[in-house]
Amino acid sequence: MFAGSHLLTVDDKGRLAIPARFRQRLNEKFGPQVFITRSYQPCIEIYPVSTFNQIVEQIDQLADRKKADLATRAFIGHAEETEIDKQGRVLLPQLLRKLAHLDSRAVAVGQNKRIEIWSEDIWTEKFSATQADELADAFASLKR
């Protein structure tokens, strides 16, 4: 499971160092290969290969062809398989960085089976104090 958030820097070449605890989990359970793709949110998603393949299988099984085609184009069409290098970095494709409005400051957020990469500005805005009521409602609906 990926959990927690980390402030990171995207270098001039578009590389991002995966946080050590995320990298350790990836390497122990899945190996250094990952898929990087877009999200329906303004962020980038990083998936272990096996998890990505499970989602592709679910897309293939969608009965609604219109939804399947959209998911295929958005999720699979923007995906790139890559490897975490020896320094623990991945190259974030330029188009995905543009779609996520990523510049040099990023936040990596563990989301159970995937890692999201957000622009620090968008992440901060999305979960600012003005969102407190919405967050309170979301948490109130959980059984804890």
User: CA neighbours within 13 Å on the CB side: how many for 128?
Assistant: 7
For residue 57, give the CATH number of its domain.
Answer: 3.40.1550.20
Residue numbers of the domain that contains 20: 5-140
Domain count, the chain: 1
Contacting residues for 10 by C-beta, under 8 A, at least 6 apart: 16, 92, 97, 102, 103, 104, 105, 106
Q: Please state the pTM of the whole predicted model.
A: 0.88
Query: Residue 2 and residue 14: Cα distance in Å, rounded?
Result: 22
Q: What single-letter DSSP state applies at residue 2? A: B
Digitized pLDDT (tens) for each residue of the chain, 144 residues in all = 899 999 999 999 999 999 999 998 888 887 889 999 999 999 999 999 999 999 999 999 999 999 999 999 999 999 999 999 999 999 999 999 999 999 999 999 999 999 999 999 999 988 776 666 777 777 787 766
C-beta separation of 8 from 106 below 8 A: yes
Three-class SS state of 88: coil
